[in-house]
Structure 1
Amino acid sequence: MSRRLTPAAFGAALLALAACAETPAPAVTAAPPAPAPAAAPAPTATQVDPNRALPIFFEAWSAFLEEPARVALAEVATYIKANPRIPVLVVGYADPRGSAEANMILSRLRARVVADTLVENGVPRNRIRILYRGATPGFESLESRRVEVRVDRGQR
Structure 2
Amino acid sequence: MIAPFTRLALGATLLAMAACAEAPAPAPVVAAPPPPAPAAPPPAASLDGRQALPIFFEPWSAALDEPAEGALRDAAKLAQENPSVRILVVGYADPRGSRAANISLSRLRARVVADFLAANGVAATRIRTLYRGPVAGMEGIESRRVQVQVDRGQR
TM-score for the superposition, normalised by structure 2? 0.72
- Equivalent of residue 48 in structure 1, options 33, 46, 50: 46
Post-superposition offset of 1:13: 1.4
Amino acid at match of 2:74: E
Q: What is aligned with 1:93?
A: 92
Amino acid at match of 1:87: R
Q: What is aligned with 1:78?
A: 77
Instruction: Give me the whole-angstrom Cα distance separating, in 1, the residues matched to 2:114 and 2:42.
Output: 19
Q: Deviations over 1:15-69 (max 9, x none)?
A: xxxxxxxxxxxxxxxxxxxxxxxxxxxx4xxx63522110000111011101111
Instruction: Give me the whole-angstrom Cα distance separating, in 2, the residues matched to 1:131 and 1:89.
Output: 8
Q: How does 1:7-156 map to 2 (within 5 A)?
A: 11-14=40-43, 43=44, 48=46, 50=48, 51-156=50-155
Unaligned stretches of 5+ residues in structure 1: 1-7, 15-42
Instruction: Give me the whole-angstrom Cα distance separating, in 2, the residues matched to 1:49 and 1:143.
Output: 21
Contact 2:47–2:79 (8 Å) recurs in 1:
no
Secondary structure of the residue aligned to 1:13 is coil
Percent of pairs with identical residues: 59
CA RMSD of the aligned region, Å?
Answer: 1.5
Q: Deviations over 1:122-141 (max 9, x none)?
A: 00000000000000001001
Q: Deviations over 1:74-111 (max 9, x none)?
A: 00000001001111000000000000000000000000
Q: What is aligned with 1:40?
A: none
TM-score for the superposition, normalised by structure 1? 0.71
Question: Moved runs in structure 1, 4+ residues, more than 4 A?
Answer: none
